[in-house]
Amino acid sequence: MKIFYAIQATGNGHISRAIQLHPYLQKFGDVDFFLSGNNATLPVDLPVKFKSKGCSLLYSKCGGLDYTAIAKNIKPIQMYKDAKALPLKHYDVIINDFDSITALACKLQKVDSVQFGHQASFISNQTPRPSKKSFLGETIFKHYAPSTKHIGLHFESYDSFIHPPIIKEEIINATPKDMQHITVYLPSFDKDCLEKAFKKLPDVAFHWFLSEITEKYISGNITYFPVNQKYFNESLISCHGIITGGGFETPSEALYLNKKVLSIPILNHYEQLCNAAALEKMGVQVIYEVGNEFELIVEKWLNATSNNPTIKANDIKKTLQYLFDTYPKRK
């Protein structure tokens, strides 16, 4: 069996999921990966056969999206050419983790696909949303990467086709411990946006992962790390809690480990606002703006006594078997 897997590389979560799935997929057939987008920092240790600049999300300085940079990065003519050039008819199964070029290629070449991943869960109206829905956000969920079939991943099973998150083996096999530090991963924030606030909490040790850092170093109560999978796994497994965005993969791993989570969704990022709504329902603290007294919010969060919610990990073998068993048969 020949398998085509499209990765949306606008962030690290999609890549991390694909790396975890790869050995399981290999048991079903030969896998070729398509990397679409250019805003990830993780090394891609996968057999990537096709690449495109695609469409990536780019961030402003302190917690928002840079819409001007995003618009400049979109090359519709090239994206159309890339879609037309993908040889999808040579593949038996096409798995799309929310990539618009692959979806367009499927439409042009009249082949089926399955949208597999977190965004697929938002096809269901039962998946949590913020109190104020976004017409644009809902349109993107439904029409950005349309597929014949959907298999969603989310914190909880809000609908029959939604499964638990893919958790890395290193996390599943770990023995969590509490070394009292706070792990920080906020890729939409530059260093100088939050550094003063963290320095105002000298008794709290922070492990801060930043894309601009190339070598680990310590300054006062902050240990700065490059975005590195090994370092991050070790820090998360041994942390007291984590401050992160409103993404999916990192909160999922933290909740699986029963860690304390403070979520700061990216401003005006509808998917992250939806995730934040789900996290709040589970009892996780969410803040939507970082003001001048951010350190007080962090301190209050640290001192709050609450039961950390836990989630299950995906049974990858079972989920993939379901995917291949129910994949649309070619006519």
> Could you give the CA distance from residue 148 to residue 145 in angstroms, rounded to a whole number?
10
Element housing 183 (H / E): strand 182-185
- pLDDT beyond 80 at 60: no
Helix (H) or strand (E) holding 252: helix 249-256
Residues of the chain by 3-state class (helix, strand, coil), percent to 5: 35, 20, 45
Which tens digits make up the pLDDT trace of 159-184?
999 999 999 999 999 999 999 999 99
DSSP one-letter string for 120-168: GGGGSTTS---SS--HHHHHHHHHSS--SEEEEE-SS--STTEEPPP--
Q: Counting Cβ atoms within 10 Å, is residue 152 exposed (0-12), middle (13-18) or buried (19+)?
A: buried
Q: What is the pTM of this model?
A: 0.89
Region of poorest pLDDT, from 43-57, 74-88, 173-187, 308-322: 43-57
Q: How many Cβ atoms from other residues are within 10 Å of residue 169's Cβ?
A: 11
Architecture category of domain 169-303 in CATH: 3-Layer(aba) Sandwich (3.40)
8 phi/psi in degrees, rounded to 5? -80, 110
- What does the pLDDT look like over 248-260, one tens digit per residue? 999 999 999 999 9
What is the band of 77 on the pLDDT scale with cuts at 50, 70, 90? Answer: confident
Q: What mean pLDDT, rounded, does the chain reach?
A: 90
What are the extents of the domains in the chain?
A: 2-166+314-325, 169-303
User: What Å distances lie between residue 197 and 126, 186, 222, 290, CA to CA?
Assistant: 38, 14, 11, 10
Q: Assess whether the region 2-166+314-325 and the region 169-303 belong to the same CATH fold.
A: yes
Residue 42 has pLDDT above 90, yes or no: no
pLDDT of 129 over the 90 cut? yes
User: If you average pLDDT over residues 211-225, what whole number do you get?
Assistant: 95
Lowest mean pLDDT among 41-50, 103-112, 182-191, 310-319: 41-50
Alpha-carbon span 9 to 14, nearest angstrom = 6
The residue to which tokens 């969590």 are assigned = 176
Residue range 2-166+314-325, CATH number: 3.40.50
pLDDT at 109: 94
pLDDT for 154 equals 98
